[in-house]
Structure 1
Amino acid sequence: MKPDGSYVGRAAPEIDIIEATVHGGVGYVSLSSQWAPFNAEYNIYNTSGQVEFFDTRDKIHYNDYVGGVWQQTTSGLAQTNQNAYELNGGQYAVYGFEYKPGYDDAYITWINDNKKAWTIYSTAMIEDPRVEISARPMSLEPMYIIANLGFSTNFVPDLDIEAMTFPGTMSVDWIRVYQPRSSINIGCDPQDHPTAAYIETYKEAYTNFELTTWAQYKQPWPKNKLSADGCN
């Protein structure tokens, strides 16, 4: 709830700096963002100027994977520095993204090997009357950083675990966050998306891992304006 008594919903935005994969023995990274609700057939508006690539198609192209039952995905598939792997060169490479939140003139630009790779603009995520959804903004909410190492057959279906070297190490030299001087925000409880009071009110629901539904917590399912009786 905001200080003026109004409510604002919270979502689960996700921008992926890198997710590594291999194609034809060559290392690539998926530079992606995840969205909901979904466009019809997960197809964004990409007629002219909604996305931009900064290298040749053999180095980066739009990912054929565009989503599934849980999320819609916009992803650029970029060839990496082939020497920036633990067992092949051991070099470091710079990855990152810059984004401007919101609906108007907003964007996300990804960095691969310290160079701009691709950009998606807010005009790609406008309303879609085919599925009766409105525009989705570039994340307006505070987000936290996750840096982890794992693997999945979703990315490499023919993953040859027997040929892999364990333990595997992902070395991170530094992580930096830059913000415009005029809009510094640190923390997960800003005035326009307050969070702390809600979590404190329902603290057990967030800290007791035995509770997996609101019913177990003896609370009704949270309402929204699309509920049968609205937010009342």
Structure 2
Amino acid sequence: MAVAQTYRVTVVRNQDSTLAAQFQAGATNTQGQLNQQVAQTTQAQQAQQNQQNQQNQQNQQLVQNTQNNQQAQQQQASIVQQQALGGWYGASALQGTDWRSAYANGAAAPAGSLSVAGAPAPAPAPAGSILLKLRNKCAGAPLDALVHLRDAKAGDWRTAGFITVAPGFTADVGRTNNRIVYVYGQQRGGRACEAGSRCWQGKAGPWPFNGKDYGFQEVRMPPSTGSSYVYTFQC
């Protein structure tokens, strides 16, 4: 009897050891699967993050390229304007065609020419050389402008234009040494001012341009004006 009891106990203990080993192996396998799943999830998240980072870099590069292109276009337009205006100073009205051609691909595209007015401004206000610019703040409305100003280099009064200014853009006109200038503007492609088109005109002048007289607004720059002045067309 004693031998049989010992045998049974041994069998039970062996069975317990086998179950324990199986449990341990199962636990190990489960932990390995969990570790593998965690690793796969981490890799997927890392791949997604890398893809997002790459997309962000591409978007930033696209924005930068767009800004660089816009800046290059503006610089090129400014160069074209400076070259054109440089040829204007000291030139006669007969060279207006050359001046107009130089602007053909620039930000400002005159449709007319320069003309020398016979009468000086009624209220001269001597100043240093001031670069006059025009700004268009009328959304969706490109405009054509004329500017009657005293040429800083030639010393006589001239009418420059037509200078086309796109909405939201600024265009150089030229340098003047008088703080009083005269400005006329009309919506491009619209009806005549007399027919109700949007216009910016006044009682100054009138001064002739391309065979027609125009009334101009008088613009007085403040004494504190530095090397440049921007006149803004508002709607």
**TM-score of the two chains, using structure 2 as the length reference:** 0.22
Please tell me whether Structure 1 or Structure 2 has the larger radius of gyration of its CA atoms.
Answer: 2
Higher helix proportion (structure 1 or 2) = 2
Higher strand proportion (structure 1 or 2) = 2
